[in-house]
Chain A
Amino acid sequence: MARTTKRHYERRVMIAMAIYVVLLMLVWPQARSTPDIWLKIAYALTPIVPLLYVIWLMAQRIFNSDELEQRTHLIGLGAAAAVVSIVSLVCGFLAVAKVMTIDGASIALIWIFPILMITYGGVRSYAARRYGSSGCDDDDEGMPMYVRFSIVAVMFCAIAAFAYYREHDEQMASFAMGVSAGIACAAIFFGVRYWLRRHAAKP
């Protein structure tokens, strides 16, 4: 089977994530105001569809990877599973002991997938670096890191704008704007590093 090129994979993931953000902003809020239970379920679960597509893309990519790439994927997924398990267990014990209050549905469950993905990406990048890859893949055929971070920053900025102007949810808008600013800083860092490396590589 042909190996999926990184560029195609990233393009598909980015399109799916853009659709996810649009669905989250336009379709998902309808679930709160719809009285019909089946329509409510449909609206609430619609944003899952592009995420399922992303998971399928990831599975395809891992399946088509070579043995070293599969090893780094395994290390990343193993570490991500361990981190999520430990964090869940710690928070669960603290919540049962009434040391802290956790809103299970809206806070804890929604954060499991992002924490899993962030840990997986970070550890996989670290593992790839140990085997001699750049880790950030700036020298490969893939999308440079500063572009990836810029796109994610714009997505969070759009969520903040939507939360502020459409939902009048200042808390959500502030949070999304803060996340966007943090990711934008990372994009600037990777952009400067990318430029310096390109500049140094010129004869």
Chain B
Amino acid sequence: MNNHVRALREARGWSQGDLAERLDVSRQTVNAIETSKYDPSLPLAFRIAKLFRQTIEDIFEPGKH
């Protein structure tokens, strides 16, 4: 699954650590989501969407795998 988390984070001037703290996850998890190595669960996806004031569909989109 592809996502725009990195772009949204950088647009706000946050580091991966800042975003991790806001989502209550580890920095490694934020990095894994941004690089599409890990697809977040639905509750975490909702938290990300709520934080960026967007819908899940706007942030995440189906990828090749």
Contacts and interface: CB of A to CB of B under 8 A. Distances in A.
Interface of A: 3, 65-69, 128, 130-133, 140
Interface of B: 24-29, 31-32, 35, 37-38, 40-41, 44
Q: Specify the main secondary structure of chain A where it touches its partner.
A: loop
A68 B38 contact: yes
15 contacts: A66-B24, A67-B29, A67-B41, A68-B25, A68-B29, A68-B38, A69-B26, A130-B37, A131-B28, A131-B32, A132-B31, A132-B32, A132-B37, A133-B32, A140-B28
B29 A66 contact: yes
B24 A131 contact: no
Given A133-B31, A133-B32, A3 B24 contact: yes
Contact of A69 (B29, B40, B44): B29
Contacts of B31: 132-133
With a 10 A CB-CB cut-off, give which of A69, A130, A131 has the most chain B CB atoms. Answer: A131
Given A131-B37, A132-B35, A132-B37, A68 B24 contact: no
A46 to B, nearest CB: 36
Nearest to A1: B24
A132 B28 contact: yes
Given A66-B26, A68-B26, 12 more contacts: A65-B26, A66-B24, A66-B25, A66-B29, A67-B29, A68-B28, A68-B32, A69-B26, A128-B28, A132-B28, A133-B28, A133-B32
A66 B28 CA distance: 10
Nearest to A66: B25
A3 B29 CA distance: 14
